[in-house]
Structure 1
Amino acid sequence: MNPNNLKYSKNHEWIGLEVNKEKTYIGITHFAQKELGDIIYLDIDETVVGTKIQEGKVFGTIEAVKTVSDLFMPVSGKILEINKVLFSKPEHINKNPYEKGWILQIKILDTKEYDRLMSFEEYKKYIGK
């Protein structure tokens, strides 16, 4: 995934939209993983698969050496899949947050929420880059 083609939340999650505008992937941004430092643990309850979570709600936590941070849904969606590889190899988020480091695959429930998210250029301004 190309970071230029993704959308971004104020909570530093990225989201990409596939051609059919239904299924998409969610992860944390390069900026977020850099700020967190070495990621050592991802905590997402596997029972969330198949459930609907509203925009802005917490879906899990991510733990780095120095801190724990909540993970927020950038849009309302039905959870289709968790990247279970991250449970044993959370370092994928540090090494490649936009490819191997994706966290969830979801079905978007409201594309208007997606449309309101920041573009790459807007996100860069938001983080002061």
Structure 2
Amino acid sequence: MGAEHAAAAGGVPGVPAGARAAGAYRDRGLSLDTGAAGARRVLRDWPDTDAIVAITDATALGALRALAEAGRRVPEDVAVVGFDDVPLAALGQPPLTTATHPVERIAVSAVRCLLGGTATADQAVLHPSTLVHRQSA
């Protein structure tokens, strides 16, 4: 399913869809309630939105709730994707498509850099996420 009118819940710099919903989630936290409130605002301000990319699974799960309340079908009307792959993501209605957040690899890498004295301010270390495709997108 390709999205034509996506909203990035949280506003992602440099991503055109990020400008679409930047104000919907900014400075409100990253909870189920803020996800639902942000999705309601996205639907009100941009009713043609056909995808929401949330900054966390919690905001995505809140968006699922608001979309259901608004009578929008997921993923048929609006696809939703989260980030973190928390255990509750699989229990969403529908189960949430998300990306992993490799916390353990990030922590191990950070400790190795610090203990090994190799950490520098301009050093970039990438820890790729993996898409966990479920039924919301």
Does TM-score exceed 0.5, indicating one fold? no
Bigger relative contact order, structure 1 or 2 (CA pairs below 8 A, ≥6 apart): 1
Please identify which structure carries the higher helix content: 2
TM-score by length of 2: 0.24
Which has the larger strand fraction? Answer: 1
TM-score, normalising length from structure 1?
A: 0.24
